[in-house]
Amino acid sequence: MNNTLSNPNTAVTHLSATIQLPASKSESNRLLILQALSNGNMKIVNFSTANDTLLLQKALNSKSLIVNIDDAGTAMRFLTSFFAMRNEHKIVKGTDRMHKRPVHDLVEALHQIGFRINYLGQPGFPPIEIIPVNLDSLNNKVTIDGSISSQFISSLMMIGASLPHGLEITITGEVASKPYILLTAALMRKAGIESAINFPIITIAKQEYKTTVLSAGDDWTNAGYWYSFVALYPSAAIVLEGLEEETAQGDKILLEWGNYFGVKSEFKQGALYLSKLENTLTESLHFDFTPHPDLAQTIIVLCAAKGIQATFSGLQSLRIKETDRIAALQAELKKFDVELVETLNGNFTLEGKFVARPVTIETYNDHRMAMCFAPLAVLAPITFTDPSVVSKSYPDFWNQMAKLLTWDE
């Protein structure tokens, strides 16, 4: 595959395609952990083929002392608690970037429970070593800061029912990405594990998994890129097959946010139909990404391209993702004469007038950096330094996008 994505032929006046979104990586990763904890009671009939999910599956099946999860941050967080709960002697490592992503709060919480986890490099960061302990001596109460990563909390929740006395989690500070915690609880419930959530306290009693067959729903986060296409092209209609309207995935907020960008959302015959709206609100918008961090890049780039004045908050977790996503967005948006500027109290805004021009987008080994800028190809040719990064969450992205655009020879 060539690295340059071209806008449609000038004769094309209407973009139209039917897209099958991949299974949710967020749901798939949680289901794999729950399946492993269920000791065979739970079966999964459909899950993501994203590289992150495949790495997690491989790690769960590994008999080796050393487990390399590459750049899969979710796998690092979920496996830390899982291997501790399984009382396995394991060393979990990853890429250089992974070794710069903090795990201190999760490890400290596991220490409170009574697990032994050692740092093998810089304190607070992977790689880590998990040492077996006497499970009968474990505590059932833990306190953890909720502002760093909701995955730390989800990681603890999923082992709660397997602990000798269950687990009570007290969350301090602002709860980041709360919808993902609720998603974890919803999937646990489907597996037969009940949790009592009364923020800031989550209680999970010791319980047994029921025999069941579960399937991951399609990915609402990845729907955002297709919303961008409809928003940016004068005439467009895209059908997204397989999305569930009744879902615990928090990024279904796109049903609401799409209106701000001129995108109409309608569920018909088991699919989501995206089309153009005649009237939209494009002034004085504010987006709080605290519950929806994975939509931040998509929405910010879309606001820039459409010249929408907006403020953005809840971006703090973007600093510790696959890359520093704030710095990456700032660098790439400058190529279009737009500045992402931090104002007061952690808020950001956009300055400058967007200029569509042929540019090369640096992908920073970050799948979402590639995909959030890809829809700009309807405005001018875009070249990507490493298109393959999308395999982390959406392996078929470019093939599906070829229904709308073409890769230059």
Residues composing the chain: 409
Q: Write out the catalytic residue numbers.
A: 294
H or E segment to which residue 248 belongs: none
Angle at 362 between CA 27 and CA 148, to 5 degrees: 45
| Residue 224, phi then psi, degrees to nearest 5 | -60, -35
> Is the omega angle on the peptide bond into residue 200 within 30 degrees of 0, that is, cis?
yes
Cα–Cα distance for residue pair 270/153, rounded to 1 Å = 33
Distance of alpha carbon 26 from the chain centroid: 6
Cα–Cα distance for residue pair 286/271, rounded to 1 Å = 29
SS3 18: strand
Cα–Cα distance for residue pair 393/397, rounded to 1 Å = 9
Strand partners for 380: none
Q: DSSP state, 219? A: -
**92 closest CA partner among 55, 142, 147:** 55
* Exposure on the CB side of residue 365, measured as CA atoms within 13 A: 12
Cα–Cα distance for residue pair 79/67, rounded to 1 Å = 10
Percent helix, strand, coil in the chain (nearest 5)?
40, 25, 40
SS3 292: coil
Distance of alpha carbon 376 from the chain centroid: 21
Cα–Cα distance for residue pair 72/55, rounded to 1 Å = 7
**303 closest CA partner among 279, 321, 281:** 281
- Helices 73-85 and 25-37: crossing angle, nearest 10°? 10
Q: DSSP state, 261? A: G
**180 closest CA partner among 213, 221, 143, 209:** 221
- Phi-psi region at 270: left, alpha or beta (left = phi > 0; alpha = psi -120 to 50): left
